[in-house]
Amino acid sequence: MPNWGIVRFVPAPGDRGTEVHVELRYEPPAGKLGALVAKLFGEEPALQVNGDLRRFKQVLETGEVVRSDASIHRGMHPAQPPVGDLAMSVDIQGGY
Amino acid sequence: MRAVCWEGKRKMRVESVPDPKILNARDAIVRVTSTAICGSDLHLYNGFVPTLERGDILGHEFMGEVVDVGRSVRNLKVGDRVVVPFPIACGECAACQRDMFSLCENSNPNGWMAEKLWGHSPCGIFGYSHLLGGFAGGQAEYVRVPFADVGPLKVPSGMDDEQVLFLSDILPTGYMGAEMCDIKRGDIVAVWGAGPVGQFAMLSASLLGAERVIAIDRFDYRLKMAKSKAKVWETINYERESVLDRLRELTGGRGPDACIDAVGMEAHGHPAMYAYDRAKQALMLENDRPLALREAITACRNGGVVSVIGVYSGFIDKFPMGSVMNRSLTIRTGQCHVQRYMRPLLERIENGEIDPSFVITHRMKLDDAPSGYDMFVHKKDNCEKVVLTM
């Protein structure tokens, strides 16, 4: 999907660290309808950018992306420890 | 391992589930030795907290022995005995740096859900819905503890589980409720709810210098405990007398200097008001029944503080804002920043000022948790606090 944008790093007021602003422009495959469909599946760029920014902050501040027992699965899932070696594959994924 | 799972409204089951594993480098795995059922677990049990899933492991009050640590955890080692605070907190974000641990900005992987309902996301919490992270809870044989290098408190040798278990939630929560009242010499503090958190709020209010503490509940056995164990001066059973009239009498017409709501979203009260709120709640027109909160606001003296530690989930109805505004009331509230209070309260336990174990009325095995929930929700057998061991 064609896209372009700007990332700005700005000092936050009151010595509260750095604000990261992302401006992203993109052309969804089927125009407005395509954007709506993407949103329904949680893949709309604004949602993805918000999630990415949240994880970026986590990595910078804590050194990792925190996982919960339910969030490592796709879709809603009981908050129980994952079965088998799923945990291992997530550990590798979580290292970015 | 065995774990206590929510299977639907008022249905808990002890199930066999996979053992937890280290998922992040700062995790630890704790073998649980004691865990408790919290009054706020009853809000989950009763199905009043959105985004709970069938099969979720509940429990956020627990302690035990460290059996595994991730590669970045340096302060804990296998074999350490720890109490784990219920708010999951990274220790590094702006909120944690200001000791506002329950507002940690990095511990809720489902922050976007909380943002939709509340505007911004608080911290993740063990076993407390997907809105607050989808973390498996501690009513289980083992539990994974994220950011284990920040939260868990090592238990000094010689102290038994029952002395320190409640540092995980209800003792600090009650204490913070009293601390938020900004108590001055001669103050009268009224506490709605004589459940375990209410008992600790009453006791803490005295420790922080309140001259008189008044307990309000509908169960005499709870009021009796408040009087004999939590240094309470006077009790009010709201099913037998008017709380507002009685508080006016007890305070020379002024009202209590501070009012603590230790009840939250499933309050009972005047039959007509209760029926109104219960009906709206059932129709999903409001999430919470704020009967105690309304009364606490109305009762409070002009310029006083209303401290809210009872749990609310969403929207409430008929909020007496006119009373708050015209009488210059201050409302203070929050999920407890447990990590801030654990050490100072441990000291108070060690030097004998507080023995939190007085609230325990029932000791059961983890396998009996479903009947523990049933007993607690129906206040059977004068139930105040259920502690589960393995």
For residue B94, list chain A residues with Cβ-Cβ distance below 8 A.
16-17
Q: How far is A53 from B273, CA to CA, in rounded Å?
A: 45
Do A12 and A51 belong together in one domain? yes
- Residue B51 domain boundaries: 2-169+336-389
pLDDT on residue A85: 59
ipTM score of complex: 0.85
**pLDDT score at B281:** 83
Q: Are residues A54 and A70 in the same domain?
A: no
Residues near B293 by beta carbon (within 8 Å), at least 6 away in sequence: B261, B263, B267, B306, B308, B310, B312, B316
Specify whether B286 is located in the same domain as B263: yes
pLDDT number for residue A45: 79
Contact assessment for residue B139 and residue A84, using Cβ atoms and an 8 Å cutoff: no
Question: Domain total for chain A?
Answer: 2
The answer, yes or no, to whether residue A5 has pLDDT greater than 80, is yes
Q: What is the pLDDT of residue A94?
A: 39
Question: B200 is written with which tokens?
Answer: 């600790």
pLDDT band with cut points at 50, 70 and 90 for residue A92: very low
CATH number of residue B46's parent domain: 3.90.180.10
- To the nearest whole Å, the CA of A35 is away from the closest chain B CA by 19
Mark which of B315, B333, B351 sits at the end of a domain: B333
pLDDT of A93 strictly over 60: no
Residues B22 and B108 in one domain: yes
Per-residue model confidence (pLDDT) at position A96: 30
Q: Residue A83 pLDDT more than 90?
A: no
Q: Which of B54, B73, B106 to mutate to test the interface with A (most CBs of A within 10 A)?
A: B106
- Choosing from B312, B333, B354, the residue where a domain stops is B333
Same domain, B162 and B231: no
Q: Which residue has the higher pLDDT, B183 or A95?
A: B183
> Which residues of chain B carry a pLDDT beneath 50?
none
* Residues B204 and B298 placed together within one structural domain of the fold: yes
Residue ranges making up the domain that contains A51:
1-58
From B55, B90, B109, residue closest to A68, measured CB to CB: B109
Is B57–A54 a contact, with Cβ atoms under 8 angstroms apart?
no
Could you give the angle at the alpha carbon of B32 between the alpha carbons of B3 and B386, nearest 5°?
A: 75
Q: Are A26 and A47 in a shared domain?
A: yes
Name the residue among B23, B110, B127 with its Cβ closest to that of A87.
B23
CA distances from B190 to A65, B203, B207, B256, B267 (A): 43, 12, 15, 6, 16
Same domain, B144 and B179: no
State the Cα–Cα distance between residues B217 and B294, nearest whole angstrom.
15
Do A71 and A54 fall within a single domain?
no
Q: Are residues A37 and A70 in the same domain?
A: no
- DSSP assignment letter at B266: B
Is the domain of B283 the same as that of B202?
yes
Q: How many CB atoms lie within 10 A of CB A2?
A: 8
Answer yes or no: are the C-beta atoms of B383 and B358 closer than 8 Å: no
Q: Within the 286-305 window of chain B, which residues sit less than 8 Å (CB to CB) from chain A?
A: none
Same domain, B19 and B98: yes
Nearest residue in A to B128, CA atom: A79
Q: What DSSP character marks residue B314?
A: S
Does B111 sit within 8 Å of A54, measured CB to CB?
A: yes
Tell me what pLDDT residue A90 has: 45
pLDDT at A86: 57
Does B262 or A43 have the greater pLDDT score? B262
User: Three-state SS for B164?
Assistant: helix
Angstrom distance (rounded) from CA B25 to CA B17: 23
User: What pLDDT band is residue A29 in, cutting at 50, 70 and 90?
Assistant: confident
Dihedral sign computed on CA atoms, order B137, B138, B140, B145: positive
How far does Cα B37 stand from its chain's mean position? 10
Using the beta-carbon criterion (under 8 Å), do B21 and A87 form an inter-chain contact? yes
Task: Please check whether residues A49 and A89 belong to one and the same domain.
Answer: no
Substitution target in A39, A54, A62 with the highest count of B β-carbons within 10 Å is A62
Q: Could you please report the per-residue DSSP string of chain A?
A: --EEEEEEEEEPGGG--EEEEEEEEE--TTHHHHHHHHHHTT--HHHHHHHHHHHHHHHHHHSS----TTTTSSS---SSPPPTTHHHHHHHHTT-
